[in-house]
């Protein structure tokens, strides 16, 4: 049975449309025009216990709105939503003690106090027993390697250190479900890697269910076997990351190294030349014709090395969002 179940979720906003200038302001006092913004438009999916799912899409796709509905911060316009058997916007204490929402651009820690003070406050808010609190805190401190900065004022911490403390504050009550909205935003590549390692380890150790949104494809590739893609409020893909390549990329890339000069026009007869800088060329060919194209290159050109590769997942996702032909 899924721990998160969404059917035909819709969240619309009425937005006032005002004409520019003073005359427009006066007109709006007597006659206001509104239009609907469809932040989420008929999304359906379910997630099982222990899954770590990537929830991706461009800016304004509806990702954060969906997470806010799942956590009870927003009421939907319509649709069915169940999280751990609860209706989120009922905001029952029993439900609120079983999930956490971490937003990379939001701060829940007291700025002028050490992070440990916020942890103690959260312990009391969530009514965590002393023994459980100590055990959970010790595990999280060890996983994130932050024992030496627990008593440092939050405002004196680096962005990476603050994000680690934000995670501890969100996890101190051992939630069954974790919503992570851009948890690595603004972090350098080293800290991004550390955060990814922690999320993976936490998911495996505690069998927690995690929905992760991120604009960094490295986050998704390293952490998520399943991805849900949303665009303009609509779900356009739900499945294994590998399936995106099969569904949306109808080509492969032949990376060739030559040991003698070749005519680029002749290479164009084999496929689309994406890059040519002797001795290397990258040629895009139809997926079904990749083996034949490779054989033709080997037979008729002075090839020193040849690789058949899948296109980069980032490029495929970009093409999915723009609606262009990936080939």
Q: Which of 178, 33, 46 is nearest to 103 (CA)?
A: 178
Q: Which domains does the chain have, with CATH numbers?
A: 4-245 (3.40.50.300), 250-309 (3.30.70.980)
Q: Model-level pTM?
A: 0.78
- Separation CA 84–CA 5 (nearest Å): 9
Kindly state the tokens that stand for 61.
């796709």
- Concatenating the DSSP letter of every residue in 180-196 gives EESTTTT--HHHHHHHH
Question: Cα angle vertex 208, ends 204, 211, to 5°?
Answer: 105
pLDDT at position 326, please?
45
pLDDT at position 324, please?
52
Contact of 55 with 228, CB cutoff 8 Å: yes
Q: E strands, the chain, where?
A: 4-17, 33-47, 52-56, 78-83, 99-103, 177-181, 209-213, 226-231, 234-240, 251-258, 272-277, 280-286, 303-309
- Separation CA 297–CA 291 (nearest Å): 10
pLDDT at position 24, please?
65
Contact of 133 with 123, CB cutoff 8 Å: yes
Report in angstroms the alpha-carbon separations of 34 from 9, 38, 234.
Answer: 22, 13, 22
pLDDT at position 169, please?
93
Q: Which of 280, 229, 284 is nearest to 257 (CA)?
A: 280
Q: Which pLDDT tens digits describe the chain residue by residue (327 residues)?
A: 799 999 999 999 887 776 777 776 777 766 777 778 899 999 999 999 999 999 988 888 899 999 999 999 999 999 999 999 999 999 999 999 999 999 876 778 888 999 999 999 999 999 999 999 999 999 999 988 899 999 999 999 988 889 899 999 999 999 999 999 888 888 888 888 888 999 999 999 999 999 999 888 888 888 998 999 998 899 989 999 888 877 777 788 999 999 988 888 888 889 989 889 888 999 999 888 889 999 999 999 999 999 998 777 777 777 777 665 444
Q: Which of 67, 63, 56 is nearest to 316 (CA)?
A: 56
Q: What SS3 class is residue 19?
A: coil
Residue position matching structure tokens 């006032």: 16
pLDDT at position 244, please?
81
Report in angstroms the alpha-carbon separations of 247 from 220, 230, 251, 275, 299.
Answer: 18, 16, 11, 24, 31
Peptide bond before residue 123 is cis, with ω within 30 degrees of 0 = no
């Amino acid at each position: 049975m899924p721990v998160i179940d969404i059917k035909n979720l819709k969240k619309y906003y009425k937005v006032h449309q005002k004409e520019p200038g003073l005359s427009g302001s006066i007109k709006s006092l007597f006659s206001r025009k509104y239009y609907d913004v469809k932040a989420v438009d008929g999304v359906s999916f379910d997630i099982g216990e222990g899954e770590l799912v990537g929830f991706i899409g461009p800016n304004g796709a509806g990702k954060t709105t969906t997470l806010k509905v799942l956590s009870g911060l927003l009421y939907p316009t319509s649709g069915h939503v169940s999280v751990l058997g609860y209706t989120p916007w009922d905001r029952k204490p029993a439900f609120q003690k079983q999930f956490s929402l971490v937003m990379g651009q939001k701060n829940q820690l007291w700025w002028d106090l050490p992070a440990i003070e916020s942890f103690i406050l959260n312990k009391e808010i969530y009514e965590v027993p002393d023994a459980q609190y100590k055990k959970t805190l010790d595990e999280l401190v060890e996983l994130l390697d932050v024992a030496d900065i627990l008593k440092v004022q939050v405002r004196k911490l680096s962005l990476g250190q603050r994000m680690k403390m934000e995670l501890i504050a969100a996890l101190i009550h051992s939630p069954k479900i974790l919503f992570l909205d851009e948890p690595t935003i603004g972090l350098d590549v080293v800290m991004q890697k550390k955060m990814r390692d922690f999320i993976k380890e936490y998911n495996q150790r505690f069998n927690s269910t995690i929905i992760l949104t991120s604009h960094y494809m490295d986050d998704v590739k390293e952490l998520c076997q399943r991805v849900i893609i949303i665009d303009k409020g609509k779900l356009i893909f739900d499945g294994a990351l590998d399936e995106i390549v099969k569904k949306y990329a109808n080509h492969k890339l032949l990376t060739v190294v030559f040991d003698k000069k070749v005519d680029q026009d002749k290479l164009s007869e084999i496929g689309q030349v994406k890059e040519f800088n002797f001795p290397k060329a990258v040629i895009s060919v139809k997926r079904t014709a990749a083996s034949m194209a490779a054989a033709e290159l080997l037979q008729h050109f002075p090839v020193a090395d040849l690789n058949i590769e899948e296109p980069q997942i980032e490029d495929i996702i970009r093409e999915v969002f723009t609606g262009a032909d990936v080939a």
